Amino acid sequence: MSYLLVIPSIDIKDRKTVRVVKGIPELHCKEYGNDPVEMARIWRAENAKLIHVVDFDRAADHSKKNFNIIEEICSSVIIPVEFAGGIRELDDIKEMLGIGVSRLVISTMAIEDRENFIKALEIFGPLKIAISLDIVDEQIIIHGRKIKTGINYLDFAKDMRSLGVERFIVTDVERNGMMIGPNIEMSKKVAEITEAKITLSGGVRNKDELMDIQNLMPLGIDSVIVGRALYENRFPCQKLWRVAESGIFQ
């Protein structure tokens, strides 16, 4: 039996761990600490198989103030690190892969610099590059979730799939960090229209919702990014359902 891969998220701003509510980063509650590197070690110790890291400073203004923290996370855990935030150029991709990031999640570059995005996909391949669908009012938002593009998320997903993209991270930004449940229907639509692999992100709050998502694995929804609910220990026996997964980068 295959199991849904649960991916802890570490969101970073001003070199500290933050939580994100509707795309807006806030300083994380102190009982879990503000050190992103220590947080990565904790998730690894709790048997996470992949960590999702978001750099909000880099996403907002291409700042590299958190660069050495990302580098230290990659060298501190022996599991893959997926990275999102401010990947705008080919050099950004080379730089982040060079410090040990296993997969990059891109959106802005795919829209604003399509030519180089296609080149990056050809050079590094779809196992190293995924597309982020950050969605508000059914349209893609970019630049750190600040700018609405007017592009329908399903149209964009189909376009990216035609270029060879094999994985999409689907986030209903309005539900992100709100603890009101995931937008499962949105991820289903992307899965059905692209027949690609889907990581659902945003809103998950309990094990029952994880089971609902796991039932959709035949559609290609094989993983889920969880932030606030994990930090607030909303799941009983967390080690039990972080089952060893193979083929994370298939």
Catalytically active residues are: 11, 134
For residues 145 and 135, what is the distance between their CA atoms, to the nearest angstrom? 9
Residues 217 and 2 sit within 8 Å (Cβ to Cβ): yes
Least Cα distance to 87 among 114, 123, 59 occurs for 59
Burial of 78 (0-12, 13-18, 19+ CB in 10 A): exposed
Q: Are strands 16-21 and 51-55 parallel, antiparallel or unpaired?
A: unpaired
Burial of 207 (0-12, 13-18, 19+ CB in 10 A): middle
Least Cα distance to 78 among 128, 43, 125, 34 occurs for 43
Least Cα distance to 69 among 26, 17, 128 occurs for 17
**Single-letter code of the amino acid located at 60:** A
For residues 48 and 209, what is the distance between their CA atoms, to the nearest angstrom? 19
Label residue 181 left, alpha or beta by phi (over 0 means left) and psi (-120 to 50 means alpha): left
